[in-house]
């Protein structure tokens, strides 16, 4: 067991927050607390020895926490920080797990005092299910972890968050601007969800599709089982980047459609070979 000599509070004990708590539990923190509006979830986490104590009122644990990890929907993160400025321990490191960064990071850093340090974080980990009951420390094993620092962040604090992510099992720690993060995530995370949902909603065959689907359909549609409230918010919060990449996808799918219509195997083979090369690079 690794010693992590900090008081840590996880805010929001759903799938991601619960997974953070389970992963951090193994690191032997000085204290591990959680905040959630669901008392049953907090009790379950306490009973399973995942957290030392759970709170509905966040003020008490925040006053003693060296690190605060906010695992709320993106629209709630900034409000939570603003509301609790008087409650945070001076010198505290505050981070989040939101998958949209520009709006959150820029907004919080416009009002946060110099006595606190907000560092945007995004573990590239998750499941199609939601809720504490699906939380697992294993989702971080081998995952990428993105940090979106800004000029006012303390380098030492950035290193603490990076070290925590590594100890939780993340493989690669990437540091990138909030704006560039959102541009890239539109392609690597959000577009695949758009495609999966669109594929499932394109079924016009009037058959029980489960009897005709193999691995390719199941692989493509797994992420169509989606947390609708969360992903609606993510898509609209990053709409400019996402629309741009959808339009690029439309260009490519139209090339494929026209090549299929005209039976142009040369163009199809070129596209297949290009995709094979790119996939091999991604999976190295």
pTM higher than 0.85: yes
Which of the two residues, 204 and 47, has the higher pLDDT score? 47
Two tokens at 11? 């805010």
**93: helix, coil or strand?**
strand
The pLDDT assigned to 157 comes to 96
The answer as to CATH 3.20.20.80 being correct for domain 181-282 is no
pLDDT tens, position by position, 116-139: 999 999 999 877 778 899 999 999
The pLDDT assigned to 48 comes to 95
CB atoms within 10 A of CB 70: 25
* % pLDDT > 70, the chain: 99
- Give the Cα separation of 271 and 262 in Å (integer): 15
The pLDDT assigned to 129 comes to 76
Which band of pLDDT confidence, cut at 50, 70 and 90, is reported for residue 3? low
Candidate CATH numbers 3.40.50.720, 2.60.40.1930, 3.90.1570.10, 3.30.420.10; the one for domain 4-175 = 3.40.50.720
Q: What is the 8-class DSSP label of residue 186? A: I
The pLDDT assigned to 36 comes to 97
The pLDDT assigned to 225 comes to 86
Q: Stretch 63-69: mean pLDDT, rounded?
A: 98
Which band of pLDDT confidence, cut at 50, 70 and 90, is reported for residue 17? very high
Q: What's the length of the chain? A: 284
Q: Stretch 234-263: mean pLDDT, rounded?
A: 96
Q: Stretch 237-241: mean pLDDT, rounded?
A: 95
* % pLDDT > 90, the chain: 83
CB atoms within 10 A of CB 77: 26
Task: List, in sequence order, the alpha helices (H) in the chain.
Answer: 15-25, 39-47, 59-62, 74-83, 102-109, 155-168, 178-185, 191-200, 215-221, 228-237, 239-261, 265-282
Q: What is the 8-class DSSP label of residue 125? A: -
**Residue ranges matching CATH 1.10.3660.10 in the chain:** 181-282
Alpha-carbon distances, residue 76 vs 25, 70, 106, 221 (angstroms): 25, 9, 14, 29
């Amino acid at each position: 067991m690794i010693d992590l000599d900090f008081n840590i509070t996880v805010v929001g004990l759903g799938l991601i927050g619960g997974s953070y708590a389970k992963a951090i539990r193994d690191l032997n923190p000085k204290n591990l607390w959680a905040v959630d509006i669901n008392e049953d979830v907090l009790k379950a986490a306490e009973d399973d020895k995942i957290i030392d104590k759970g709170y509905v009122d966040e003020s008490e644990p925040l006053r003693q926490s060296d690190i605060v990890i906010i695992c709320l929907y993106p629209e709630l993160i900034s409000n939570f920080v603003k509301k609790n400025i008087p409650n945070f321990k001076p010198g505290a490191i505050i981070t989040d797990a939101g998958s949209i960064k520009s709006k959150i990071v820029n907004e919080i850093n416009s009002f946060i005092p110099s006595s606190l340090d907000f560092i945007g974080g995004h573990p590239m980990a998750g499941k199609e299910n939601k809720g504490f009951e699906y939380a697992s420390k294993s989702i971080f094993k081998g995952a990428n972890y993105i940090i979106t620092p800004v000029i006012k962040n303390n380098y030492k604090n950035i290193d603490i968050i990076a070290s925590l992510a590594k100890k939780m099992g993340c493989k690669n720690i990437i540091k990138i601007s909030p704006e560039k993060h959102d541009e890239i995530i539109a392609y690597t995370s959000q577009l695949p969800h758009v495609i999966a949902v669109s594929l499932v909603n394109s079924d016009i065959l009037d058959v029980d599709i489960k009897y005709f689907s193999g691995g390719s359909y199941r692989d493509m549609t797994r992420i169509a089982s989606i947390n609708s409230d969360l992903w609606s918010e993510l898509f609209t919060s990053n709409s400019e980047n996402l629309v741009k990449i959808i339009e690029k996808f439309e260009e490519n799918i139209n090339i494929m459609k026209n090549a299929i219509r005209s039976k142009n195997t040369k163009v199809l083979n070129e596209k297949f070979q290009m995709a094979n090369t790119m996939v091999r690079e991604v999976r190295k």
